Amino acid sequence: MATLNQLVIGASIGAVLLLIALGLTFTFGQMGVINMAHGEFIMAGAYTAYLLQPLVGTQSVLVALPVAFAVAGVLGLILERLAIRHFYGRPLDTLLLTWGISLVLQQVARDIFGAPNVQVRAPGWLTGGLDLGVRLPYNRVFIMVLAVGCVLAIWLYLTRLRHGRRMRAVMQNRQLAAVSGVATERVDQLTFFIGSGLAGVAGVALTLIGPVGPTLGTNYIVDAFLVVVAGGLGQLRGAVIAAFALGILNSFVEFWVDNGASLAKVVVFAVIIGFLQLRPQGMFVVRTRALS
Amino acid sequence: MLTVQGLDVAYGRAQVLFGVDLEAPAGSLVCVMGRNGVGKTTLLKAVMGVLPVRSGRVHFAGEEITGLKTHERVRRGLGYVPPGHETFPQLTVGENLQVAAEATGRPSQGAVDEALDLFPALPVLLKRRAGFLSGGQQQQLAIARALVGRPKMLLLDEPTEGIQPSIILEIEEAVQRLHRELGLAILLVEQYLELALRLADRFVILDAGEVVRSGDRAELRDPSVHALLSV
């Protein structure tokens, strides 16, 4: 019974990681930009939900999802236009730059909202849970459904729509896309908008399972990068499997060991380091003649 | 149709092209020749705006395009096939063509059909991922991809390099047909004299980044030309 409970908690953490990693799959996996400020887009999404609460009332979560997507997306777009695009092809400089920006954004949040955490109240239909022998809290179920929905939406976007196809073309061969007539800069902007927007959605999801603070994103960003690397760069299904594996592993180690929270981190890092020793390219890789 | 004047191009401090002039009239097939590393590929990339030029001008279809971005040049009617049979490896053959057709802003099934018509091997492969095709099939796809935008001029960079002989013939026939039957202007980078003799109206020979010889097809038979091309 306890085992099943841990499974549910782990899967919902995995779902949050997946939502964050989905955004990174776009900006890091596909464009190769290490954006440390991605975590602050999560925070921005969470504070968006907090700000909307008094305006919209109890159903604010549903309104907050699209609004947070737009807010975080626009933040990402501004960051790309003002800063990151001048550093394409220089990953280490991008890392430093975005880390600095991430600290600035955290301080901005402290100045606006104060250092202490704030709470977003979940709507009534998300409190409580379903008892099926194992208890399924509605908020965690909602997060899982949200993550699965986002994966499906992205998959459809990338494979079925004109803009998604164009995006894949640019990521696979930027120069060839340009000489085929694709406005690659425009595609970069859109990629960044969507990737960052997904971080905002993840932020709203996090308000359902915990308090909101200026360092909210920092707690998740490293794990999310690990998910992307372990899953294989730019690979959607790799990210899905790695996110749930990481979340569940984490929740079980926390449960089995006394004071498990920090030990769980150690175990998870060790497992991933071991895994990457065996498969440095991650779970899935792109295999074609063209790349050999 | 395409006029290049005094083109200087450099990679950092290493200058590769020195004052290159080139004239390709509408409907002509001009062959750019020369040994490895003399700047043929660089010239085409500079014309497409993939590489920045240090000085000089490029005019196309009565308009200066020197400052335009690559995709703007494509939309004005320049088609380009880079060297080394490049594709979008994870997209299917059909998607490869679709991306290019949509990028021109006026996608048309007719243009896609025309491009496929030129390469009978491609239609049966439409659902295959491009990365899994053979080199020769990828090159045919690369040319078809450049054609779906209905360009006014096609830039081909060594389309037969490293391709199996049977497909080289098909590609050569396709280039012939595009030029002779459809009247497309073509700028062809080619190392092999025999192929140039069969296809070209005019030729330009580069050596160490400069134009050292140009003329019409008959002059290609001159022994001095042979000396410029042999290693």
d(CA B2, CA B63): 9
Contact between B199 and B31 under an 8 Å Cβ cutoff? The reply is yes
Which of A170, A179, A289 to substitute to test the interface with B, most B CBs within 10 Å? A179
**Which residues in chain A are contacts of B48 at CB distance < 8 A?**
179
List the domain boundaries for chain B: 2-229
d(CA B184, CA B198): 17
Q: How many CB pairs under 8 A join A and B?
A: 93
Q: How much of chain B exceeds pLDDT 90, in percent?
A: 73
Residue of chain A whose Cα is closest to the Cα of B74:
A181
Contact between A204 and A44 under an 8 Å Cβ cutoff? The reply is no
CB contact under 8 A, B133 and A289: yes
DSSP, res B26: T
d(CA B4, CA B24): 9
CA dihedral A158, A159, A163, A166 (to 10 degrees): 90
CB contact under 8 A, A183 and B71: yes
Residue of chain A whose Cα is closest to the Cα of B134:
A289
A47-56 pLDDT, tens digit each: 999 999 988 8
Confidence of residue A213 (pLDDT cuts 50, 70, 90): very high
The beta strands (E) that lie in A129-254 are given as: 129-132, 134-137
Residue A266 has pLDDT above 90, yes or no: no
Task: Using alpha carbons, select from B73, B68, B133 the residue that is nearest to residue B97.
Answer: B133
CB contact under 8 A, A180 and B50: no
Q: What's the mean per-residue pLDDT of chain B?
A: 92
Residue of chain A whose Cα is closest to the Cα of B138:
A290
Contact residues, chain B to chain A, C-beta under 8 Å: 48, 50, 69-71, 74-75, 80, 82, 86-91, 95-96, 98-100, 102-105, 129-135, 138, 145-146, 149
Task: Using alpha carbons, select from A90, A95, A88 the residue that is nearest to residue A185.
Answer: A88
Which of B88, B148, B163 to substitute to test the interface with A, most A CBs within 10 Å? B88
d(CA B182, CA B176): 9
- C-alpha B165 chain-centroid distance: 20
Contact between A8 and A247 under an 8 Å Cβ cutoff? The reply is no
Residue A287's pLDDT is 53
Residue of chain A whose Cα is closest to the Cα of B97:
A180
Residue A286 has pLDDT above 70, yes or no: no
Residue A288's pLDDT is 45
Sign of the torsion formed by the C-alpha atoms of A56, A62, A66 and A72: positive
DSSP, res B69: -
Confidence of residue A291 (pLDDT cuts 50, 70, 90): very low
**Which residues in chain A are contacts of B149 at CB distance < 8 A?**
180-181
Residue A290's pLDDT is 40
Q: Read off the tokens for B61.
A: 């279809």
Q: Read off the tokens for A189.
A: 């902007």
Q: How large is the average pLDDT for residues B96-116?
A: 87
CB contact under 8 A, B75 and A177: no
d(CA A254, CA A277): 25
Q: How large is the average pLDDT for residues A108-126?
A: 90
CA atoms within 13 A on the CB side of A120: 33
Contacts of B113 (CB under 8 A, 6+ apart): none
CA dihedral B43, B46, B47, B50 (to 10 degrees): 130
CB contact under 8 A, A173 and B145: no
Site of tokens 């175990």? A267
Confidence of residue A268 (pLDDT cuts 50, 70, 90): confident
Residue A292's pLDDT is 35
Residue of chain B whose Cα is closest to the Cα of A235:
B90
DSSP, res B216: E
B108-163 pLDDT, tens digit each: 788 899 899 999 999 999 999 999 999 999 999 999 999 998 999 999 999 998 88
Which of B102, B125, B132, B141 to substitute to test the interface with A, most A CBs within 10 Å? B102
Confidence of residue A113 (pLDDT cuts 50, 70, 90): very high
CB-closest option in A175, A183, A290 to B87: A290
What element of type H or E holds A146? helix A138-160
Residue A98 has pLDDT above 60, yes or no: yes
Contact between B94 and B144 under an 8 Å Cβ cutoff? The reply is no
B2-229 belongs to which homologous superfamily? P-loop containing nucleotide triphosphate hydrolases (3.40.50.300)
Which of B65, B70, B152 to substitute to test the interface with A, most A CBs within 10 Å? B70
CA dihedral A49, A54, A58, A59 (to 10 degrees): -50
CB contact under 8 A, A172 and B89: yes
Neighbours of A83 (CB within 10 A): 15
Strand order in the sheet with B202-207: B78-81, B153-157, B185-189, B29-33, B202-207, B210-216
Contact between B114 and B145 under an 8 Å Cβ cutoff? The reply is no
- C-alpha B222 chain-centroid distance: 25
CB contact under 8 A, B89 and A162: no
Q: Read off the tokens for B72.
A: 């703007």
N-to-C CA span, chain B? 32
A227-252 pLDDT, tens digit each: 988 888 778 888 999 999 999 998 88
**Which residues in chain B are contacts of A173 at CB distance < 8 A?**
86-89
What element of type H or E holds B187? strand B185-189
Kindly report the backbone phi and psi dihedral angles of residue B16, in degrees, each rounded to the nearest multiple of 5, phi listed first. -110, -40
Sign of the torsion formed by the C-alpha atoms of B133, B136, B137 and B138: positive
Sign of the torsion formed by the C-alpha atoms of B89, B92, B93 and B99: negative
Q: What's the mean per-residue pLDDT of chain A?
A: 89
Q: How much of chain A exceeds pLDDT 70, in percent?
A: 97
Characterize the bridge pairing of strands B153-157 and B185-189.
Answer: parallel
Residue of chain B whose Cα is closest to the Cα of A160:
B95
CB contact under 8 A, B48 and A179: yes
CB-closest option in B50, B69, B131 to A288: B131
d(CA B126, CA B116): 10
CB contact under 8 A, B75 and A181: yes
